[in-house]
Amino acid sequence: MVVIAIIAILAAISIPAYANYVIRSKLASEIGKLAPAKTAAAEYVANNGGEIDYTISDLGTVPSGSSVGDAGAVVLDTSAIVANSSISLVPTVTTGAILWTCTGSGLTNSQLPSICGAGNNDNNSNSDSNNSTADTLQPSTIC
């Protein structure tokens, strides 16, 4: 009986942790698919005097469900992974670089991948998360 109780306790702890790990992995994979769009955005900004006024068509090939939001944010709908959720990469133009801030909506800290600055914080809060990461792309000039 004691062994069964110990196994039940371990399962109650490990199954939710594994589920969040799977979600983080899927979200990180989807964010990785935005790398070409981030590069295209950096080129667009470099070629247009630092203006962040690009459209989704200016970014080339992006994952389905992607859009451009306010202030040039590249928004990725992740509802297929977690219901009613999205991840946004918000650009900030600095001298000679673009700083991308990753924010999540409809995701807990334990579901956000570490590239969004969440690390492995496995608290199961239901609040939306706004975490940032220092992912910088140098804009390039096409001659």
Can you tell me the distance from the alpha carbon of 30 to that of 37, in angstroms, rounded to the nearest whole number? 12
The more confident residue out of 133 and 98 is 98
Q: What is the pLDDT of residues 122-141, one digit of tens each?
A: 333 333 334 444 344 333 32
Q: Does residue 42 contact residue 58 with C-beta atoms inside 8 Å? A: no
Q: Does residue 101 contact residue 52 with C-beta atoms inside 8 Å? A: no
What confidence category does residue 116 fall into, taking pLDDT thresholds of 50, 70 and 90? Answer: confident
Q: Does residue 103 contact residue 87 with C-beta atoms inside 8 Å? A: yes
Q: What is the pLDDT of residues 23-66, one digit of tens each?
A: 999 999 989 988 899 989 989 988 888 888 899 888 888 888 88
pTM above 0.75, yes or no: no
DSSP secondary structure string, 57-93?
GGG-S--TTEEE-GGG-EEEE-TTTSTT-EEEEEEEE
> What's residue 24's pLDDT?
92
Helices and strands in the chain: count of H runs, count of E runs: 2, 5
Q: Which of 136, 52, 61, 67 is nearest to 102 (CA)?
A: 136
> What's residue 123's pLDDT?
35
